[in-house]
Amino acid sequence: MTLANQLLTSAELAQPLPLAEAETLAGELSRVAGMSVYPRSIAARGCVLFFLGRRDTHKFLGAIHAGAALAGEFTGETREVTLNGGNALVLTQCPTDPANAAALRTALPFTAPVTLGLCKSIGCGDRLGLATPGHVRAVRKGNMAPIFAQQSIREMTRTQRTPEEVMDDASWGVFQEGWRERFGADADHLKTPDDVDRCVAAGFVFYTVDPGDHVDNAADADDPATLRQKVEALPWDDLEASPDDLRRSYLGREFDVGDFAVTFSEEDLLRAAAKYGRAVAHTVRMYRRVADQMGDRPFELEMSVDETETPTTIPEHYFVASELNRLGVEWVSLAPRYIGRFEKGVDYIGDLTVFEADFARHVAIASALGPYKLSLHSGSDKFSIYPIFDRVAGDLVHLKTAGTSYLEALRATAGTDPGLFREILAFAFERYAEDRASYHVSADPAKVPTPDQLADGELATVLDDFDGREMLHVTFGSVLTVADAAGGYRFRDRLLAALQADEEAHYAALEAHFDRHIAPFG
């Protein structure tokens, strides 16, 4: 019996083939399907042989089966084929559209996201929808559980993508690379109940609540009288407590978190409550919305206050976690605003010794009041603090990256289409002043070489420069959505086409870059 026929008798999910056997079978499948088949995508279940192939720049799902009709909700064109001169079989060739992505997640459950729990993890944001295969190749070499579908509502708006598109692109990438381990899907930086509903409908399982709009940054500098007024005005019905309850719960007590105890002076408590009380209330409302919409389906929650103006102190962290516990919220990770500067796409800016000492105290609280993971947002390229996170937090780490994958796509483009990269760089100079408004960045465009100052072989060096990297990072939304004179996209389609034309260059850039992110974590 041939290898293909053996797979076609498999009712349960067959084990992945050794790469050499997969490559041999992919050659035969490529011949009968008329497209180039990705060897790692070959999978068999339910007496159907599934694979992903590419013809020109278009990808198709292939399914070979013995019956006249393919089981499930797949839609596509069918024709008769034979493998290695055997009996006649049926090939169904399906477009990689939303309906077939949903059917794929049912037929091959490893292409659907699941919850990850308290294990060391990494979020791999993908603003272009093409990066997952490169992410998979890097993740395979480490021990971090991946989240391959991850995008914030802000990013979806700026890239004009939907939650469904983010999910589908990750599923197809997982299928292409034959990733059989679990992976997550993070609906990132959700701010409204509508955000929750859209992402639940798309199948996300990890929900990052961003209550940053409800954090009172001014409380860091308010005088005691102002703090008292702010605390009295908190939404106590939502918090299911009162100012007197608050004082009884925290004042005059020591909270042992292992290596030290957290105590609250009255001013500490007022400041923590004034700063984060409304954020806690909003997180509770959002958590309950997620729980209501998900029903009996498992999900995970993260609370993120990283994009606020002032660091989260140790008493403030304890207050937030303690209040979430009191209000019945279950969460898997929390992203405080750490000390130092976490700018987009560049390394940490600050004193590493001071950071480590402060971070160790955050870890102690997370261990005592959870345990839950500490999430590192704006985590791209923070190479100097990865060893600290790994050494101090162990498995209680979630590293979240996003824009760095877009930047590595630009690196690949600089090598394969220098002219397009020059145009994008010139456009970034035009857009940076406006686009930087919603980001914590400090790049000076005057320090970035202009396109005409660089030879083709020097273009990618802009991506190794602090100022150039940040400038290109924050202008991604404008680059991907600006219109051309004909009403189409000025850059988007050309950028996607360049990456698809030489996808191995793109994957190689991503793999090399994410190796640097993952290796420090063991």
End-to-end Cα separation, the chain, in angstroms:
43
Active-site residue (options: 195, 302, 358, 417): 302
8 Å CB contact between 396 and 365 = no
Beta bridge partners of 341: 349
Residue 302 known to be catalytic: yes
HEC string of 67-87 equals CCCCCCCCCCEEEEEECCCCC
pLDDT at 307: 83
pLDDT at 99: 97
Separation CA 51–CA 107 (nearest Å): 12
Side-chain-side CA neighbours of residue 377 (13 Å) = 25
DSSP assignment letter at 452: G
Separation CA 171–CA 175 (nearest Å): 6
DSSP 478-501: HHHH-B-TTSSBSSHHHHHHHHHH
Residue 254 known to be catalytic: no
Q: Is 224 helix (H, G, I), strand (E, B) or coil?
A: helix
Separation CA 372–CA 332 (nearest Å): 5
Q: Is 197 helix (H, G, I), strand (E, B) or coil?
A: helix
8 Å CB contact between 224 and 274 = no
Q: Please state the domain extents for the chain.
A: 3-110, 410-520
pLDDT at 3: 87
8 Å CB contact between 10 and 17 = no
DSSP assignment letter at 123: E
Query: Of 207, 158, 165, which is closest to residue 185 (Cα–Cα)?
Result: 207
Active-site residue (options: 169, 188, 268, 467): 188
Separation CA 515–CA 491 (nearest Å): 29
pLDDT at 1: 54
pLDDT at 426: 98
* pLDDT tens, residue order, the chain (522 aa): 588 888 999 999 999 999 999 999 999 999 999 999 999 999 999 999 999 999 999 999 999 999 777 877 899 999 999 998 788 999 999 999 999 999 999 999 999 999 999 999 999 999 999 999 999 999 999 999 999 999 999 999 999 999 999 999 999 999 999 999 999 999 999 999 999 999 999 999 999 999 999 999 999 999 999 999 999 999 999 999 999 999 999 999 999 999 899 999 999 999 999 999 999 999 999 999 999 999 999 999 999 999 888 999 999 999 999 999 999 999 999 999 999 999 999 999 999 999 999 999 999 999 999 999 999 999 999 999 999 999 999 999 999 999 999 999 999 999 999 999 999 999 999 999 999 998 889 999 999 999 999 999 999 999 999 999 999 999 999 999 999 999 999 999 999 999 999 999 999 999 999 999 999 998
pLDDT at 70: 81
pLDDT at 308: 87
